[in-house]
Structure 1
Amino acid sequence: MQCKKCGVELPENAKFCPECGAPVIQENIVEDAQIEESEKAVTEEAVVEESEETVTEQPVEEEVVEEVVEEEPSPKEDFSEDKKEEPSKVWYYVKNDQAMGPYSVEEMTAFLKSKTINGDTLVWKQGMEDWVKLKSTEIPVPDMSSTEQWYYVDAKNAQNGPYTREQMETLIQARQIFGNTFVWKTGMADWKRLKETELASLATPESPKPQYQSFNDQSTANTTGKSNGQIFIMERSIGLSIVLTFVTCGIYSYYWLYCLARDINACCNVQNKPRVAEPGIVVLLTIVTCGLYGIYFYWKAGKALAQLEFDNGFSVPDNSIIQLIMPILGLGIISMAICQSSLNDIARYANR
């Protein structure tokens, strides 16, 4: 600060000039008052500007809110749309004793085409008193009888077919096939007895005892020992059988052993060759003798398969020695696999 009179620099808070003695209090007060007034004016102007901006911006915010509210979907409209779709999915069906669904008619039709369900599947929808078969409802069930090809095994263990469903019904009525006759049709995973299929209601449970060919029956066996009859056995996956044997800690091997004895006897019956023991006896003696009888069975099975002869020149090699040695070394499952491989070859090539 300088003295207004002589221009000398004044010390801080000086009330009189040290050179000229002029007082400086009044001028400082005036300056401070002017500064305070100027600051107050600036503050008031800022407040006024903020209030004006608030007043001008408020209508804009209200308009934005109104636009957002208009764009939000109406809950009432959403509810009505759901109600339009729900009534189409009203069908349920039974699978493994459990209700599956709901499904639309289109989905049920797709299940029919993929054979997930069929005409005998139990279905239900709201309004029905109880579960009914699908073929009794308004859902169209395609007629599969024209595409079905049925086969059956007669008393001589020969495979017959193919037949249509109508022909099978005729055979049932003529008492040529019975409830305990093994049958198969396209789409089935394995052979079943007739009484376990959809033809069970038409089948007669009684059937004559199987009559196997005698060794002197020259009508079906020629002098070479070959047979014109077809051998009916099914191929079995060797890898899957081995896996199931290990997974079940050997329990499945007894069922596999039963199937091997059954199929070997079936082959021998057709050609009037000596058979191995009955399947149940083979399993029982193997268990009772702690596996010793199984060693003898594998040797005998190799001999029984090697004796078979076929018109097309196919033959099974004699694996009896290796099938005898493997169980002695604790590798009986290999003997089972060799037997099964021979049976698979018979099923695949013998009837060609």
Structure 2
Amino acid sequence: MECKQCGNSLPENAKFCPECGAPVPTDDVVEETPSAKEKVEVVEAVIEEDQTTEAEEPVQDVVEEVEETKEETITQEEPVESEEEKAQAEEWYYVRESQSAGPFTLEQMIERIRDAQIKEETLVWKAGMADWQKLKDTELKEYLPTPDVKPEGDQWYFVDANNKQNGPYTVEQMKGLIQAHQIYGNTFVWKTGMADWKRLKDTELASYVMPEAPKQESAHQTFTKKPIYISERSIGLSIVLSIVTCSVYSYYWLYTLARDINECCRAQNKSGPGEPGIVVLLSLITCGLYGIYFYWKAGKVLSELEFDNGYRVSDNSIIMLVLPFLGLGIISMAICQSTLNDICRYGNE
């Protein structure tokens, strides 16, 4: 389209000429109006936009609520996961018989330490440790039992008359036992550092041994203990010979028992159970009844013997009395012979 005044080309829908400024007749302006279809599309677009806007608002609210709930859930779950991880980190394992045992909680490990199921040299491991370590090198060492504190001074032991070990005792306690005449110079003693047992009189405790007061001679009689001269006898061989000879040898054995017991009593100026020949004869006449009495009497007499080295004989008289009634008279003879053998070994030391 051109300007009617200057002939200049006019832009579409121009109302004035840009060159001369002359107005452009309205008839010459072509107004493009939207068609009915376009108007309908515009209206539908506006309506759809409004509906979308209205729908997006509640959806956005729901999304925001979901996000807030998710954040709260995550916040609540974080401590739980942390506790589980911590619990796993506190699970312990240890080596038992070359195999891994576990997992165990700290309380279970402490209980096993107290029960001595695991010790300071046991290999242990838990999450976070690079390798297995000895228990004493880990935090568990504080639960190890405290070692017993050894008392100061030497700890002494001694063997009593029944060949039973006693102790430990301090030097002061040993001194008290010496003064109470419970241990003597010939008593075997031992302490840490000694290669073997020694007689008390050969150790540093010898200075505590009370010297014996000189015996005052009585105007009527002077008594001194004499050495006991008896010989040991094989108990097993005596039993075998008694069985093989149908108890004939047992009467000879009974004779030697009475003889040796009388020798022990004579050495200490005490009365014995009877003459050997009479003991055998009365046993034969009474069909063994007197022999039962002899066993009881022998046990009593032997238990009353005294020895300077502290050796004591146990009283087996009741046992030796009961066994013959059970058909085990030969066992009573064996007990009696065992006592005599011990006297032979220790009584004269």
Taking structure 1 as the reference length, what is the TM-score of the superposition? 0.37
Taking structure 2 as the reference length, what is the TM-score of the superposition? 0.37
Tell which structure's C-alpha radius of gyration is larger. 2
